[in-house]
Amino acid sequence: MKYQKIILVLVIVLAAVWGIKFFKRQKIDNPIVRTVPPEQPNTGLVQPEVSEFFVTAEGAGEFNPRHIRIKMGDKVTWLNKGSVVIWPAVGPHPTHDIYPEFDSKHGIKSGENWSFTFQRLGMWQYHNHLKGGSMVGIVEVLAE
């Protein structure tokens, strides 16, 4: 019984150390990549300002930037410039049922892209469905 408690404590300590190392490795950058569409001709209609953001999948599996902040109604385009097929989707893996619309629903090959317009506020942690959550990023959708 005494050894079981010692083993349990060791397992908990090892899990905590692993968790700290894992989350430090998952460092999130905060650059904001924003492009504004070109000036539209004055038609007398008020059009909402919609910005487009770009996330690039690079190398063998990293999203860049890993954390972006946008406004509701903004569009994010994932550009695959990497060597692996990507399938952006918001967690939890593999069901993607927190924000099911934010799911490309298929793999995006190198040289291809996929866009999504965010209509819900929140901090959406997404992953590459094909890599089981080891390739991650965050889209933070703000009201203004």
Separation of alpha carbons 12 and 14, rounded Å: 5
Q: Which tens digit of pLDDT belongs to each residue from 97-115?
A: 889 999 999 999 999 999 9
Q: pTM of this prediction?
A: 0.65
Q: Is the pLDDT of residue 62 over 60?
A: yes
The average confidence (pLDDT) of the chain is: 78
**Spacing of C-alpha 115 from chain mean position:** 12
Give me the residue spans of the domains in the chain: 29-35+49-142
Q: Is residue 59 very low, low, confident or very high in pLDDT (cuts 50, 70, 90)?
A: confident
Question: For residue 76, is it left (φ>0), alpha (ψ between -120 and 50) or beta?
Answer: beta
CATH superfamily of 29-35+49-142: Cupredoxins -  blue copper proteins (2.60.40.420)
Q: Is the pLDDT of residue 67 over 60?
A: yes
